[in-house]
Structure 1
């Protein structure tokens, strides 16, 4: 009985603290400085969780409301968001499964606070607590791609998201796209083929077919560049690349199209159409 009374006592005290704090904050909402001062003295999420006695969700709702109020106040005034990271840490400690707090919070930390390290650390915290949530690595990839232009890391986290349960097909498409931008053609091809086989959406398949052709042609172009540097001549056919050991075999396109060299145009083409990209006049 004593063991149940002690936590209950702390819960009552904590509840009284929240109610009194709520009343005071409501009276002071017109005074932003006082609201910020109150937020600064929030205990850590770990401390609150220890004395919450199982009522973490209730407390996290309270902190979420304060977070929204704080965000609104900052957007209407100087937009400094000085205590944003602190509030988000409390919120995600109280409710580690609150996916939106991680994704929306990280977006704000990167875009509004200009603190990508804090944003990525918040997402890493979320991924540790929710390893099967595709939204978390997806947001990480999005931020790497859009704001840091780090295509390799973006591709890495798009790929992680794409392989998690219930991940939509576009995560695979984005993974392939950014890997292509980063120069990892083989990984891009793998992901595009995976999307082509997995999706039931005809539009997605059509995009995948075009992108597979584009990636394959780009890969063959790079091999021809290497062949030119080594042999100082243009290959007569793509089979020469196979014979000389530059590639194991020449793949078929998803629609059974065959790749070949158009010597008249000095380009690589696909018999069923595709992205025709480069000429090699400079190498001849």
Structure 2
């Protein structure tokens, strides 16, 4: 099955439909103010996703926030039950610089046409969750609309996007998101270690573990050439040196306690 992406383009137009979002009775809505509140929020998110077969711990949500160089507490919107003042629902905005490339050539060939490389500021949506005892009260809808208004008024954000399954499409469509199908799909393939090693050797290449920060410059160059500067991949996240060093590197090490089997191919050295 093709992956599904929902997007708002342009954000300013979409946000005009969200003004004066109705507030649910018995709840207050605000943005987080400090890291201490973010820690409590991460525990809440973990409780909401505890139903999964392999539920993410609170450290997963906290780590994703702390390692993100663009993250601020105010990017997290929450609904609180007025009786208990506890978090009842959540929406987080992820601020990202996105590649936006257009053809300026006339060859009609994706690989040969000259591409004008640029970028736009995007706002991703994630950590959308509601406590089981507070569902079906419009909390997520209200938080999404507040987040859209925030993105429209701050940071020069021009587009909002997210990934979601078919079951929750109506939630996002009510807020103005529409479905965009991916040109690619995921195909699982089993490759034996011996056959892949032979293929790499035949190309005169070698395989080694990536090390941070030593390899950031090479990784950044590869990512720019393959992803950020290709017309077919407009919309991918542009990775700054800080993003490689803080988010990518720390995620690889902190998620498992050791380096993941991430590899780098180099020409063999005699």
TM-score, normalised relative to structure 2: 0.21
TM-score, with length taken from structure 1: 0.20
Query: Which one has a larger percent strand, Structure 1 or Structure 2?
Result: 2
Question: Which has the higher relative contact order, 1 or 2, with Cα contacts under 8 A spaced 6 or more apart?
Answer: 2
Between structure 1 and structure 2, the one with the greater Rg is: 1
